[in-house]
Structure 1
Amino acid sequence: MAVAPKFAAQKLRLGTAASSSAAAVSPAVHTLEFYLDYVCPFSAKQFLTLYNTIVPLIKSNPTWASQVEIIFRHQVQPWHPSSTLVHEAGVAVQRVSPEKFWAFSEALFKDQKAYFDVNVVNETRNQTYKRLAKLAGSVGVDEGKIYDLLAISDKPGEDGSLNTGNKVTNDLKLLIKAARLVGVHVSPTVLFDGLVAGDISSGWTKEQWEEWLGKNLV
């Protein structure tokens, strides 16, 4: 599935096109899409392996790098109540500093336990947003701008609405609809060229990934 231009930060192109025209006629041959939940332990395991081990591995192989692009897909899971909040923060970072999206995602996955049930149950929604904005600040994103996008007002909207949402609510709706459209239900789920790659595990080692990439990036 395509990535809307406004969400382009979710796409990680690993090869270097010779020119913009070359990029237009010679796109990556394959696509790996990772449907991940920031508060899912298995998603964290897969993302951190992907970002810190597999991406450098692919980049070190010019043939592989020119043949694949990687896409991060937001997979909000309602049985983790804070999932919506942390993904809203990811969307806010995409808007404010798209170049920091992957670094923020790494920081959030490393700190994900801070947003598990027992660590959010006794704080207000806006207090959780403040912590997320501070985390964004730790990777060089404007903390104030992030909180401004996330904060929920305690006043009714101009039309009297009490479900006012925040400034990234509509973006998150689009991302959730996209996941539903392809029938992804749980995280982590990996799609290879648009089809679920059920053989890929969050526990895969570098060697297992290397073997799989060697067989599939041809």
Structure 2
Amino acid sequence: MSETTWRADPLVWGRGPRVFEVFIEPTCPFSVKAFRKLDELLAEAGEDRVTVKIRLQSQPWHLYSGVIVRCILAASTLEGGRQAAKAVMKAVADHREEFEFERHFGGPNRDATPNEIIARIEDYSGVRLAQAFAIPDLDREIKWHCKYARQNGIHVSPTFMIDGLVQADMSSGDAVADWAARLLKD
């Protein structure tokens, strides 16, 4: 029996000393708003001054959250790693309603299967991830994200941390310039 090895590419951009961690649920509208600001934040603050880390915060009231989080992490194991994962996150963000239940309980997605959700993500992102989705121990990466959030007292998305400290007064509605100023102060 041969053992297959794989590696999930960390969802990290930039290389600066200030660390900005964003805990997001991929179908949460507020998380989507925060996700869409991250590239602009890196450009404004400077990749040599800030490191942005995306932490996935699966939430059970977003009923396909677990499937979608697994898709993102599966994509991170493929060629292109974090960029493939980012393409999946962008595809879900751009078509959020197609991955979410109406008012968290109804609508056409009640008839969708996990395989149909995976196929939609593949179609929108261009990332062929179904095979990686089936990595038997991919759940160790999912569990790491969950454990890390719990250890830091994070239960909802989006939540923001700067240098390991939760920033309860930060919001997805804040301007990117405000995020950058906060990260670069001191």
User: Is TM-score (shorter-chain normalized) higher than 0.5?
Assistant: yes
| Aligned 8 A contact 1:34 1:189 in 2 | yes
- The superposition leaves residues 131-183 of structure 1 with CA deviations (integer Å, 9 ceiling, x where unpaired) of 1222331xxx3x2xx112336xxxxxxxxxxxxx9563332122212222222
Aligned counterparts of 1:38 and 1:66: Cα–Cα separation in 2: 27
Aligned counterparts of 2:137 and 2:180: Cα–Cα separation in 1: 41
- The superposition leaves residues 24-72 of structure 1 with CA deviations (integer Å, 9 ceiling, x where unpaired) of xxxx322110000001000001110222x2222123xxxxx32321100
| Distance change in 2, residues 1:35/1:93 (3 Å) | same
Aligned residue number for residue 67 of structure 1: 49
Aligned counterparts of 1:44 and 1:119: Cα–Cα separation in 2: 21
- Aligned partner of 2:98 among 101, 114, 119: 114
| Aligned 8 A contact 2:162 2:183 in 1 | no
Local SS of the residue matching 2:155: coil
Aligned counterparts of 1:150 and 1:207: Cα–Cα separation in 2: 37
1:210 is displaced (CA, Å) by 4.1
User: Where does the alignment leave 5 or more consecutive residues of structure 2 unmatched?
Assistant: 1-5, 102-106
Higher helix share: 1
Local SS of the residue matching 2:27: coil
User: Where does the alignment leave 5 or more consecutive residues of structure 1 unmatched?
Assistant: 15-27, 60-64, 152-164
Q: Alignment length, in residue pairs?
A: 174
Aligned counterparts of 1:111 and 1:198: Cα–Cα separation in 2: 28
Aligned residue number for residue 100 of structure 1: 84
- Aligned partner of 1:150 among 113, 118, 133: 133
Which protein shows a greater Rg?
1
1:211 aligns with 2:164: no
1:127 is displaced (CA, Å) by 1.5
| Aligned 8 A contact 1:89 1:133 in 2 | no
1:174 aligns with 2:158: no
Aligned residue number for residue 22 of structure 1: none
Aligned counterparts of 1:84 and 1:43: Cα–Cα separation in 2: 15
1:119 is displaced (CA, Å) by 4.2
1:114 is displaced (CA, Å) by 1.0
Aligned counterparts of 1:213 and 1:195: Cα–Cα separation in 2: 12
Local SS of the residue matching 2:174: coil
Q: Percent identity?
A: 26
Q: RMSD over aligned Cα, in angstroms?
A: 2.2
